[in-house]
Structure 1
């Protein structure tokens, strides 16, 4: 998955547990910079709150 391509876009992410997360992707972290070594994206939920989603937790991503 090329997660860096989603930075700056509004997304609908479906996780492997079927949780749906919508919001703007405001960051990407490559696997080498993460612990554990899995790439991730961050989704802005509100002005003060965001969520990080690891690549292995993502079932699908849709640009909305």
Structure 2
């Protein structure tokens, strides 16, 4: 059963999100995938963003963000 931040990460699949990271940076992009802690090694949930903006600059690749890196996730329109 998913709870807490892992549940929030699951719920943003297929949505445009804004992610505030613990290091103070920010990512904005389409969440294309969620991986539960059970499916990852090491056992930690993650989400993947397709070509996100990082602090306003486009990254030309998919970016996986691990649960411990995320301070807050918001769905944006």
Per the normalisation by structure 2, the TM-score is 0.76
Give 1:32 shift: 1.3
| 4+ runs deviating over 6 angstroms | none
RMSD of equivalent CA atoms:
1.3
Q: Which residue of 2 aligns with 1:14?
A: 20
Equivalent positions of 1:28-47 (< 5 A) are 28-45=34-51
Identify unmatched segments of 5+ residues in structure 1.
Answer: none
Q: Measure, in 2, the Cα distance between the counterparts of 1:19 and 1:44.
A: 17
Q: Which runs of 5+ in 2 are unaligned?
A: 53-59
Greater strand share, 1 or 2? 1
Structure of higher CA gyration radius: 2
Distance 1:21 1:36 in 2: 23
Deviation at 1:6, TM superposition (A): 0.3
**Number of residue pairs matched?**
63
